[in-house]
Structure 1
Amino acid sequence: MLSVTEQQNSAPLVLVDRPSEHVAVVTLNRPERMNSMAFDVMVPLKSALDELSYDNSVRAIVLTGAGRGFSSGADHKSAGSVPHVDGLTRPTYALRSMEVLDDVILALRKLHQPVIAAVNGAAIGGGLCLALACDIRIASVEAYFRAAGINNGLTASELGLSYLLPRAIGTSRAFELMLTGRDVDAEEAERIGLVSRAVAPAELLAVCVQMGVRIASFSRPGIELTKRTLWSGLDAGSMEAHMQAEGLGQLYIRLLTDNFDEAVAARAQQRPPVFTDDKNPRPGN
């Protein structure tokens, strides 16, 4: 288990583990605060994600929380220190603080690798945003979700929530959850598409790692371009423009790799395909 950062005389607040050759597990490690989004946690999380994005041995990432919470959102008791804010006035300090959190959400989307959220417990407010910024969400049956801003006398729109949630579950359900601030348990989350599935707590991490292993078995450009086109499709101004992007991605891989021919041959020979990243792969790729 490798620490990304460490508080003096305390455990690391973000952990990175490698349970499989091509899969990394990132764990928010502040269980006594239900992994709330204190800056002391979010800054090293961003650093960890940046490092993993350019670690070419990693092809899938799992994000989870230690203890009984995935992330409880804003920490109202111990928010931690915001970097690079010396000399700023209060309004600008607030803007920089929000920017730090925004950067974490955007980093999850921009990672080269797909990210699987292993939602082990409460995903509240900003914690819900963290989960939604991941590409896939698997929940423990003990998990629950809440768009908490409205409960705190604020807007429920934060950290991309009003953008991501309607795209995940539809507009009517998103309006309801954000305006009522009610909890959504794992069973309902699976039914409405907020998560792909709900599993027993003891199985959660293994299920997510195994999913990462399966994803990692496919070609790297195929994985990366699929993630890119899925996200760009959510932003697309028109279906026609998005279809062109999809087509270019397919042509790119078809022309620059032998993966399609390998897949056809493997099916004919009733064996698993062995994908490479280009037509003349370098040793180890």
Structure 2
Amino acid sequence: MTNSTSPLIVEERGAALHVTLNRPERLNAMDPVLVTELRDLFTRLYWRHDLRAVVLTGAGRGFCAGLDIVDADRAAGNDVGEVLIAQRRISEIVIAMRRCPQPIVALVNGPASGGGFALALAADIRVATPALKMNAAFIRLGLSACDIGVSYFLPRMVGSSVAADYMLTGRFFDADAALRHGLVSRIVEQEDLAATGDEILESLLHATPLGLRLTKEALNFAIDAPGLEAAVAMEDRNQALTAQGPDFAEGIAAFREKRKPKFAG
């Protein structure tokens, strides 16, 4: 487990990794240290097949207020090359989040603005509290609203018209709007958030390790698939792969015997 004074608390609990953004005094805004730790963590997860799911949340009363303007790399200097490198250091976080094989459950416990909005969108499952506030804050700071993958994720989740409405204005999704537009799968009270995350984890870990990884991978590809046949080809390949080995047989046996399966992985 990472030291509790670290800007990123990381705890392995069996096959699940619990990750907490830990700068509550700044609403977990991302400074250069937190940016680096997040990017490195999700990059390393690509090879951690022993870890099967990730829970991501924020300490204190917020999820993530975005990039910490006080410490922002991109605010230092005017050299285009340096700014582009600094920008890529941040954007690589969401690329690594989508590439890592573990489903990511974001427990959005309050504001998620700018880069925090991007982190939430890059997760696979989002659960929020009634205190949720999400927006593409970049456009309100003199930048484009298209940043850190938001212009990719948001239209695919809510449609181009709704995405344009929120991105061009920078206005906030509250909890009701986020649920109505499908940005989150459920809203729960703050005191129930951790238990809801555990419940989702239990359901995720009921799947075989390979089935879980290949389902996330196929969902990623299906979003951009050129058509039904391409998506079905990926599905066929994944079913053929998961049908091999002992886990499929164990799953069938456990179903018939009405017990929890014991997958070898």
Match of 1:191 among 157, 160, 180: 180
CA distance in structure 1 between the partners assigned to 2:233 and 2:25 by the alignment: 48
Counterpart residue number, 2:64: 71
Match of 2:40 among 36, 47, 62: 47
Counterpart residue number, 1:38: 31
Counterpart residue number, 1:15: 9
1:32-56 per-residue CA deviation (whole Å, 9 max, x = no partner) reads 1111122221101122223344333
1:272 aligns with 2:265: no
Equivalent residues of 2:74, 2:86 under 8 A apart: no
Shift of 1:263: 2.9
Cα RMSD of the aligned pairs, angstroms, is 2.2
Q: SS where residue 71 of structure 2 aligns? A: coil
Counterpart residue number, 2:223: 234
Q: Which structure 2 residue ranges, 5 or more long, are not aligned?
A: none
Q: SS where residue 41 of structure 1 aligns? A: helix
Equivalent residues of 1:40, 1:81 under 8 A apart: no
Counterpart residue number, 1:126: 115
Q: Which structure 1 residue ranges, 5 or more long, are not aligned?
A: 278-285
Shift of 1:183: 1.2
Counterpart residue number, 1:56: 49
Equivalent residues of 1:37, 1:75 under 8 A apart: yes
Shift of 1:93: 0.7
| TM-score after normalising by structure 2 | 0.92
Judging by fraction of residues, say which structure has more helix: 2
CA distance in structure 2 between the partners assigned to 1:111 and 1:166 by the alignment: 22
Counterpart residue number, 2:18: 25
CA distance in structure 1 between the partners assigned to 2:19 and 2:74 by the alignment: 21
CA distance in structure 1 between the partners assigned to 2:264 and 2:160 by the alignment: 40
Structure 2 vs 1, CA of residues 268 and 217 (structure 1 numbering), >3 Å: closer, same or farther?
closer
CA distance in structure 2 between the partners assigned to 1:257 and 1:141 by the alignment: 44
After superposition, residues 123-272 of structure 1 pair within 5 angstroms as 123-254=112-243, 256-272=244-260
Shift of 1:89: 7.9
Q: How much identity, in percent, do the aligned residues show?
A: 37
Corresponding pairs, count: 265
CA distance in structure 2 between the partners assigned to 1:153 and 1:80 by the alignment: 16
CA distance in structure 2 between the partners assigned to 1:129 and 1:239 by the alignment: 28
| TM-score after normalising by structure 1 | 0.86
Equivalent residues of 2:6, 2:22 under 8 A apart: yes
Match of 2:97 among 108, 112, 132: 108
CA distance in structure 2 between the partners assigned to 1:41 and 1:131 by the alignment: 16
